[in-house]
Amino acid sequence: MRLYKAKNYEDMSRKAANIISAQVIMKPDCVLGLATGSTPIGTYKQLIEWYNKGDLDFSEVTTVNLDEYKGMPRENSQSYYYFMHTNLFDHVNLQKGRSFLPDGTEPDSEKACSDYNAVIHQVGGIDLQLLGIGRNGHIGFNEPADHFSLETHCVDLTPSTIDANKRFFEKEEDVPRQAYTMGIKTIMQAKRVLLVASGEDKAQALYDSFYGPVTPAVPASILQYHRNVYVVADEAALSKMP
Ligand code: PGA
């Protein structure tokens, strides 16, 4: 694991965007695995800024996202489809039809998951996977469990994740209870992984993931076995690191 210490959220965002830019510049037709959540928003903003300056070109890039709420219409402002369009896709020159997310509108979980696995295989795997981390150590929606997941699957969100995500909804009851998520095996098969973390509420999860035992009870801990992991975190998120 290579750790990049950032002073604050802005610095974390710029450092993470630098790593993504380097990937796009070195391999213009790369496959980027992307993430939603509050943490990567600043990273996407920075990428848009560099794109507008003419320093970045996404015309050959393909993107695959980690997850999507099950049963969420795309046009709903809480869907990850909507999030990605608003925070990145609508502002850069990604080609239409080259950005993929699990289909949250597909009620048949088995179909939604196998279709998404087919997409990931078809694009040839992921060159760089961006990840946030949950307060419980989840990556994507791979929640703490007694085993590591393989490919895309449907998950029941844990109370901790529902609690963390309720801030985006009017009431807690509105938070979807299930999601489709890329599995741990797929994440581990990405050539490079970039994990971003900001704020004190991520400090314990970050410590447990990189200094605790590798266990499905802390899904991100599996990253200790990945050869090319870059962690970009701010001082607050690093406050429990040795
Ligand atoms: P956050 O979510 O960036 O909104 O904190 C991260 C995650 O749960 O993966």
The CB of 168 under 6 Å from ligand 1? The reply is no
pLDDT (tens digit, 9 = 90+) per residue, 134-154? 999 999 999 999 999 999 999
Assess whether pLDDT exceeds 90 at residue 237. yes
Indicate the pLDDT class of residue 14, thresholds 50, 70 and 90: very high
136 is catalytic: yes
Catalytic residue among 87, 103, 127, 138: 138
- 34 to 61, 88, 144, 163, 190: CA distances (angstroms): 12, 10, 21, 23, 12
Residue 128: what residue type? L
29 is catalytic: no
- Two tokens at 19? 């790593």
Ligand 1 centroid to residue 34 C-alpha, Å: 12
Q: Which atom of ligand 1 is nearest to the CA of 134?
A: 8
Residue 164 has a pLDDT of: 87
Assess whether pLDDT exceeds 90 at residue 82. yes
Of the two residues 170 and 214, the one the predictor is more confident about is 214
143 is catalytic: yes
Indicate the pLDDT class of residue 60, thresholds 50, 70 and 90: very high
Residue 160 has a pLDDT of: 86
Indicate the pLDDT class of residue 99, thresholds 50, 70 and 90: very high
The CB of 95 under 6 Å from ligand 1? The reply is no
11 is catalytic: no
